[in-house]
Structure 1
Amino acid sequence: MNNIFVFDIETIPDIESGRKLYDLPDLDDADVAKAMFHLRQQATGSEFLPLHLHRICAISVVLRHKDKLKVWSLGEPDAGEAELVQRFFDGVEKFTPTLVSWNGGGFDLPVLHYRSLLHGVQAPRYWDTGEDDRDFKWNNYLSRYHARHTDLMDVLAGYQMRASAKLDEVATMLGFPGKMGMSGAKVWDAFHAGEVEGIRNYCETDVLNTWLVYLRFQLIRGHLTHKAYEQELELLRETLVQEDKPHFTEFLQHWQP
């Protein structure tokens, strides 16, 4: 396996844009967020903000490249959003990887599109649909039915939204750790409390779950033999042991043999 780039983002309200759009110049960040959630609730029945009003506070990845496996969060904990988005698309430019996500087509990538638009982040390789590289006409990052971005949730559901499932439930069903202590709904409170490192750790466990589900997907489609699949699992275990980080240790403890 080579050049596989599993990714997940965590987001908070885009306070600056909310302040502009809803004319709230005199409110502090916490109150602007409350107003944004309240207005969204009134309009739709849900506090979940429209995707263009999500600000990225963490991007975590698993990179499988050559004989190496690496798990990390892009940038330093205090890095600005523009740097995180730039680093993500720089990785695409450098490796031209297969992107793997869970609901990335429905959430993560559209958010990244809007944030790159806001910050002017260039990503010609990502946006290519065959103009620069003819191969990208038949397999690019933007088409829902192409494999260069594999949205596992979408593919496993047969592209039927009524058949979609939560990552936590699928991972747990397969004997993987699933979510451990945090969820996307808690990210804003954690960020407001200054717990950026905890958000990044949570995001990293999400990409680990996604990677494990992807390996199982590769097994059932015949792209990995049973022996190769077990070797990939062992490589991941060894990598997490070597990293010796508390959230990786906890992940290993929750991973059913």
Structure 2
Amino acid sequence: MLQAGPTVTPILAFALATIPDVAGIRTLYGFAADIADSDVAEFALQRQRARSGEDGMPLHLQRIVAISWTLRLGEGIACHTGGDANTDEAALLQALFDQVAQHAPCVTSWSGAAFALPLLRYRALINGLALPPHWSAENATQSGLAPLPYATVPLDDMARLCGFPALPVVAGGTPWEAYRAGRLGEIRARCDIEAMATYLLFQRDRLVQGTLGAADYHDSVAQARGWVGQQAAPHWRDFLAAWPSTEG
């Protein structure tokens, strides 16, 4: 089990995967039970395009199906994905919130301010869950939230430009298509990699901001690489194989 060092602030970098909240869309628009889920989701997508010109589903109509986090405590690091393929959204959220409440880490995500943090609040509200103590998107500094300020740049692009491996591609193009095809495992695996990439870029951002020294940065990258090298899961083996040994 990971244990925090006495003077090291824990870091938790998380990633989310979502699909259209078909049940929520049915509730809002009164679709009959015999209307296919795919048609219900397509209605919401077309409505969003007509209203805003955007292809994405509105935040409050996105259901979380995977949450992964990379947690650094002292000299230890590990990446976890909450629950399993049968875990419901409320339990996934609670698993993340429990980690935050237990370790009081600095929490970061790639598109936190624009996507992940408001989404978590909406889904916590819908599921009737309490957020971790003092955690609010409006009070990020005091509550230990440190979303990376690069929401307009794809995580995969920035990871590759910084010398880290590319993120795995979910077959079918979108999490919704993969989910409908019964490939939640692929979604969870990509979520794992996103959480690790977010952690690595967070440490790199600290380096360029001057809050983390070069030696400590390289140590943190080596520590993460060492953990990945100990994993047997195929997505971690692929990630390691694509990781240039000269990164950093």
* TM-score with structure 1 setting the length: 0.85
Question: Amino acid of the residue matched to residue 103 of structure 1?
Answer: S
C-alpha deviations, 1:36-74, integer Å up to 9, x for none? Answer: 222222222233111100000000100001221010111
Alignment of 1:210-229 (within 5 A): 210-229=198-217
User: Are the aligned partners of 1:9 and 1:58 in contact in 2 as well (CA < 8 Å)?
Assistant: yes
Partner of 1:255: 243
1:61-100 matched pairs, under 5 angstroms: 61-100=69-108
1:144 deviates by 5.2
Q: Distance in 1 between matches of 2:86 and 2:124?
A: 19
Matched, 1:39 2:47: yes
Letter in 2 for 1:80: D
2:220 corresponds to: 232
Change (3 A) 1:242 1:124: closer
Q: 1:25 aligns with which of 32, 38, 49?
A: 32
Equivalence for 1:136: none
For 1:56 and 1:214, locate their aligned partners in 2 and report how far apart those are by CA, in whole Å: 23
Query: Identity over aligned residues, as a percent?
Result: 32
- How far did residue 142 of structure 1 move? 3.3
Instruction: Tell me if structure 2 keeps the 8 A contact 1:11–1:54.
Output: yes
- After superposition, the Cα gap between the structure-2 partners of 1:190 and 1:141, relative to the gap in structure 1 and judged at 3 Å, is same
* Counterpart mapping for 1:142-153 below 5 A: 142-143=138-139, 148-153=144-149
What residue number does 2:190 align with?
Answer: 202
Aligned mates of 2:116, 2:100 — CA distance in 1: 15
* Aligned residue in 2 for 1:105: 113
Q: Shift of residue 220 of structure 1?
A: 2.1
Cα offset, 1:109, TM superposition? 1.1
| SS of residue matched to 1:149 | coil
Residue by residue, what CA displacement relative to the aligned partner does 1:128-182 show, whole Å, maximum 9, x if unpaired?
xxxxxxxxxxxx653356682111135xxxxxx8xx4222221111111132223
- Match of residue 14, structure 1, among 17, 21, 29: 21
Greater helix proportion: 1
Aligned 1:118-133 pairs, distance under 5 A: 118-127=126-135
Structure 2 length normalisation: TM-score?
0.88
CA shift at 1:224, angstroms?
2.6
Equivalent residue number for residue 3 of structure 2: none
Q: Which amino acid aligns with 2:154?
A: K
Contact 2:98/2:132 (CA < 8 Å) preserved in 1? no
Deviation at 1:226, TM superposition (A): 2.1
Please list every run of 5 or more consecutive structure 1 residues that lacks an aligned counterpart in the other structure: 128-139, 155-160
C-alpha RMSD of matched pairs (Å): 2.1
Distance in 2 (alpha carbons) for counterparts of 1:184 and 1:211:
27
Residue 60 of structure 1 corresponds to which residue in structure 2?
68
Aligned length: 237
